[in-house]
Each structure stands twice: as C-alpha cells, then as structure tokens.
Structure 1
C-alpha cells in the first residue's frame, strides 16, 4: 500500500453510470432451455430489481429471435421511474425516419430516458435472417448515414429531402421531437470501420468483448484521436464485463469455473436443440476474435478473466469476466474508470440473483470510492488493498479452482 499513488489519473472519469441487460424470461446461459416466450411479470420484477439496485440503464437487446426491442423498452419504461432503456437497433430492419419517430416517442413516454445502441452487425448469418446481405464495411457506411438522418429528424425545424447511398426521401418533417434533447447514440465494435464511424459520430463508444487495461487505454486513445480529427467531442467510453463475486476469493473462483463448465456444455446443447451447428454461430466480429485471442492466456491485470470466452469459443454475448470478492472486482472496475470509462455494463450469469448481488455489494463500493475522490481530490485505499492476481492467495485460489474444474473445461 505504501507504493500506491493516490493521485487521480488525468484520464479518470469523475463519474460512472451502470448498465445491465434486461432479461425477459427465467432462461439463463448456464442452464439453457430454449424459450421463446416473454414472461411479463419477470420483465417487471427484473427491471425493478435493476432500478432498486442502483443501475442507471438497462440494455434491451435485439436478435432475430428475440422480443422486439422498442416494445420491450417501452414496457421497461412503464414499470420504472428512473431506469433508462438502451434500445438495441439494427439499421437494416427499421428505416431511420421511422426509428427516429419510435425513439422520440419512447423518450417522451419515459420523460427523457431513451438511449439507442446501433448494431451494424457482427454475424453475417444472423444479418441474412432478416434480409441484410450487405458486407460489413457497407453496413457501417449505412450506419453512418443512419446517424445523420436520426439527428436531422429530431432537430430540423422545417421539412427536408435527402438522397444518399442508402436512403432517399422527399420533404420529411418536421419530425416528432424527443422529450427535451437529442437522444444519445451508442455504437460499438472493434473493426476499422466501427472505429471510424463510432468515434466520429457517436455519443458513446461501446466495447462489448473486454480487453486488458493496456489495450483498453490504446483503444480509448484511438477513439479520442479520430473524434478530434472529425471536430467532435470524445464519446463516452462504455465497457462490458461479466462479474463473478463471492465473500471470499476461493468461493468466487469456484463459482466462476462452475459457470464456465456449465457454459461450455450448455452452449453446445442449446445450439443443437435449436438445430444450429455450434461452430456456425461463432461471431465474425473483430471484438470477439480479439477476445478469443485473449483467452489463450486467460488472466490479466487485477481480476480480468477470459475463461468464459474459452468455454464458449467466443459464441454469444460478452464474456470477459471479473472474478473475486466484491472489493477486488470493484477495484478492477475502478481501474477501467481510471482509464476513462464512464459507462460500465455488468451482467451476471445467474441473471436475477446476480443483479441483486451486484446492486447490494458491488455498485456501492465503486460509488463510495468516486465520492471519496470528489471529496478529497485523491484516490482511496480500495485499489491498494485488493490486489487480485498480485496477491498470492488469490492466484492460488484461482489455480485450485482450475484444477478442480479439470477436464470439464
């Protein structure tokens, strides 16, 4: 602790907001049962759990087989007072002027809580299910034009016409306006095209796959440089993790490896149950390919773990774990806040139970540290006291859990 520098890094974000994905039924990745239904009471309870736990946003995801994200976001908004729905939207299935109208309506209904996350598409097979045959670079070019039209639809005071590469219309507007300001637009991805479009046009830049602190700092610098060259402010940085917390390091690592074993088995069984070749659902997204390369080493920095990525082969959603006691994982999140992250997405594998635990035990620790910094102008002791892998006892606990998991992983 004597070597710990209490100086707040110049890159550190002074505040952070937390995101967690909404779940629409009791299905879990660690116990996959093919379910197509939406359980209304579960959506209500899950959304209120997030709000009561101190989460600021909930991501409303979109897949070709999922509930429709606008409708689900409206339901979330109706059963909460503060929680902000982040609508995942693929430009290929909703015209930008219609999307602007829907988003503004949601923003009015929720009194300014709407956010949109644009998904250009990381899996060609999934895109083709809804008729999108554009290659990846063309998808990002379409997203670029889409963003311009969203903002114009929200702000133009008079009718306007447009003829672009992907969209053409005459004398639209004025459009239906958001509640009190343009709606924040988020873009994610790690391809060159994603960096160019997201950095120069988005309000948030999202990282879904996880990366080491060293790489994260480089990535943030890259975004900032592109934004500056475009004459835009640097977007907010949004990072995503799958925390596994428990009262002791031993319990946390046993839980993490248990989840990983179940994910490995479950992801294959679920794909087969749906009649899909497991190998075919591996994402072509650059971020997921990067995550699979990280999985070769697995452990990074304080508590970052890519065992979930190795277990699933990079299939499915975000899989970068943070493993340890609540204090260790909070310290790891603070490391990313120190690098510049101001939006942090966390979602557990035990869905509702993990959301409750994160709200009770994890979010308050991060917020307490940020309050300490605001009051004193210095970093507190949390990061100095909870070292993660640098503590031999923690590393030994991880090693023992790996041995117990054995061939299962």
Structure 2
C-alpha cells in the first residue's frame, strides 16, 4: 500500500469502552472512570463530539485482574449506539460461548436498529480460567485461531449469501438464509486482534481490521509489513489498528509523573497473575511469541502493552508520534485513558486538531 494512501486518509481514532470495572489499568491509582451505563453513555457522546470514529467494548465473563464487574459486550454496544448518532461501536465476540448464527443474527438486528453503525471484534480468547469456569472447552493456541477463522467465514457467509452452506471442523451450516441481512455492505466490519503468527495469518485471510498490541515504531512497522504482504498474496487488504495508552498533559513532566504513579501503585499481585495467565497463553503459540511474550511488569500494568506505543507527553509530542505511526502504515489508534471523560475531551480539543494539521501538511507536501 503506497505512502500516499496513508497521507490521503485521515488516521482514525477509537477508544476502549470501560464496560468492565477497574478502567484499563491493573493499578490502584485513583481513576475517575466508571464502568456503569450512565458514565459510558456520556463518554460515548463526548468521544463522538471530540472526533472519535469508533468505540471498542470488552468481553469478560468472570472477574479477574482488577475487573470485578463486567457488562456483556453486545448489549452494551447497542446501548452506546442508541445514545449516539455517528460513532461506530465494535462489539467483542468470543467464539465458544457464541455461535456464529446467534452472533450474525444479533449483529444484523442491531445494525438495522442503529442505521448501520455496529462492527464486531472476534476475540480468540487468552483467559483459560474463564473458559473452565463456564464449562467451555479450552482449545490449544492455533486451534483457537482456526475456530475464529471459521467463525468469521461463517459470519461473512450468513451476512452476504442466501442458502448458505458451510462444512468446517467447528461449525456447520445447511442452506441457511438470514433475513434481514445487515444494512452495511458487504457486511459489518470485522476486527480481530492478536500478535502471534496464527493471528496475523488469519487476519491476512479474513479480517477487515487487525488490532496489534502497543509496540515501538520499528516493532509496529515489522508487523504491518508482514500482514500487508501476507494479505496481498491472498488478494485481500487489511487495515491496522494499534493499541496505545494516552497520557496527554500540558507538560511532558506532568505526563511522565502520571505514568510513574500508575506503575508505583500497580496492583502487583494482579499484574503478576495476569502476566502468568497471558504468558501461558502466548507460550502456547508454536513459536512461543503470542501477545505479551516480551512484556515487562511495567508493560503488563496496562492491558495490551499500551505504554509501549509512547503516546505520553504534550499534545504536540503525541500528535507527532501519531503521524509517525501513520507513516509506517497504521490506520487507527485504539486509545485508553486514566480518567476517560475528561481525557477524551482534552484529546479531542488539544491533540486531534494538531494531528489533522500535520496530516494536511503531508498532503500538501505530496501534492507539491
């Protein structure tokens, strides 16, 4: 994909929906972030007004790592869509507990109820304890991705074909026709995460969007290049979203002080337990390199390595780093914050306009 593709398309912004308690940090630092619906409705409206394109809900069935309470993702997604006009909301769906026919029907209905603004994030699962707790078989690493890939193929088939038949190892369909089909053409967008080879290979074949954990610019570039090359071989194009925990403050010193306090007040026991669980899931990938394979204690304080992306500092510093991410092929920044409502608002007022300014300058350069 050429450089000009990126300079012509404004980079998009999403935020993690705090529909589970504890915010997005395994830390005992004070957070003015609520997991309840009133807080989240207001947050969605602030995000929409601030120029965010997407919100991403989380799926958890059981407590763990500071997330004592969790609202279910699809119903919560619908509530946020009902409270907004333009924001697109991505519902997290976990193959295993969900069947593709149920998910396809749920999402198609919500698509009609919200003028085509719902998307899905197919999560392959890393939390073994949770699967055991609800009596779901726990598949080994690459099998989970094989099942997710069948799940996505089934969703796409149901959403785009009549008389759909599919004979996979995990799912079977015999002449199934869903009516009404979703409003969105060809179908609601399909997001997917993961850092392992299996995750990237699957995205290259079937997903519209691939979310990667936070990383350095070089690390992200290597992943983007790999997935783009693989997708091109499949005659497919994948857009890339990168996770980033944003700490934007008037001065760099203030931003760094916040980061230090988050890490100092980390819930050590919870971080270590989380680290054990995710590293076990990552080690299980054949190359031993799943998500979090190289994460330090500090990285694990923020789910999905959000500090590594380094969107920490002044609005100017952060805007420049965002444009640098765009230059290596990133299409979307998936953001987390400490105090969501206030910080999403600050980001919309102080950071986003600078990003758009820098992008416009790039376009002018290309045109000249």
- Fold match, TM over 0.5? yes
Q: 1:163: which partner in 2? A: 167
d(CA) in 2 for partners of 1:315, 1:166: 33
Matching residue of 1:198:
203
Shift of 1:82: 0.8
**1:356 and 2:345 correspond:** yes
Q: Does 1:371 align with 2:349?
A: no
How far off its partner does 1:375 sit?
Answer: 4.4
Q: In structure 2, do the counterparts of structure 1 residues 212 and 26 end up closer, same or farther at CA, with 3 Å as the change threshold?
A: closer
Q: C-alpha displacement at 1:287, in angstroms?
A: 4.9
Is the alpha carbon distance of 1:192 and 1:282 closer, same or farther for their aligned partners in structure 2, counting shifts above 3 Å?
Answer: closer
1:11 to partner: Cα distance: 7.1
Q: Give the Cα separation in 1 of the matches to 2:251 and 2:122.
A: 39
Q: What is the aligned counterpart of 1:147 among 138, 144, 152?
A: 152
CA deviation profile, 1:152-187 (whole Å, cap 9, x unmatched): 11111x323332211123231144311131111111
Partners of 2:274 and 2:243 in 1: CA distance: 24
Deviation of 1:312 after TM superposition, in Å, equals 5.9
For the 8 Å contact 2:16–2:58, the answer to whether it is kept is yes
Say if 2:122 and 2:190, in contact at 8 Å, map to a contact too. Answer: yes
TM-score by length of 1: 0.77
**SS of corresponding position for 1:50:** helix
What are the Cα deviations for residues 347-401 of structure 1, in whole angstroms up to 9, with x where unaligned? Answer: 112222222221221122112222333345379xxxxxxxxxxxxxxxxxxxxxx
Q: 2: CA distance between counterparts of 1:267 and 1:20?
A: 26
Tell me if structure 2 keeps the 8 A contact 1:326–1:362: yes
Which residue, 316, 322, 327 being the options, matches 1:333? 322
Alpha-carbon contact 1:88-1:116 (below 8 Å) kept: yes
1:23–1:46: 8 Å Cα contact kept in structure 2? Answer: no
Which consecutive residues of structure 2, in runs of 5 or more, have no partner in the other structure?
A: 63-69, 283-288
Which is higher, the Rg of structure 1 or of structure 2? 1
* Unmatched segments (≥5 aa) in structure 1: 1-7, 296-309, 380-409
Mapped to 2, the partners of 1:100 and 1:330 lie a distance apart of: 37
1:242 is matched with 245
Quote the Cα distance in structure 1 between the aligned partners of 2:298 and 2:52: 28
- The equivalences for 1:202-281 within 5 A come to 202-207=207-212, 209-232=213-236, 234-262=237-265, 264=266, 266=267, 268=269, 271=270, 277=273, 280-281=276-277
Q: Matched residues in 2 for 1:329 and 1:215: separation?
A: 18
Alignment length (residue pairs): 344
1:31-84 Cα distance to aligned partner (Å, 9 max, x none): 479xxx952321211111111211110001111132111100000000000111
**Does residue 48 in structure 1 map to residue 45 in structure 2?**
yes
Query: Is the alpha carbon distance of 1:267 and 1:354 closer, same or farther for their aligned partners in structure 2, counting shifts above 3 Å?
Result: farther
Distance 1:378 1:314, change over 3 A: farther
Q: C-alpha displacement at 1:237, in angstroms? A: 0.8
Q: Does 1:57 align with 2:57?
A: no
Counterpart of 1:311? Answer: 298
- Do the aligned partners of 2:243 and 2:304 also contact (CA within 8 Å) in 1? no
Contact 1:108–1:179 (8 Å) recurs in 2: yes
What is the CA–CA distance in structure 1 between the aligned matches of 2:20 and 2:202, rounded to whole Å? 34
The CA deviation string for residues 284-304 of structure 1, in whole angstroms up to 9 with x for no partner, is 334543451xx4xxxxxxxxx
**What is the aligned-residue RMSD (CA, Å)?**
2.6
Cα distance change of structure 1 residues 145 and 13 upon mapping to structure 2, 3 Å threshold = farther
Shift in Å at residue 279 of structure 1?
5.5
After superposition, the Cα gap between the structure-2 partners of 1:215 and 1:327, relative to the gap in structure 1 and judged at 3 Å, is same
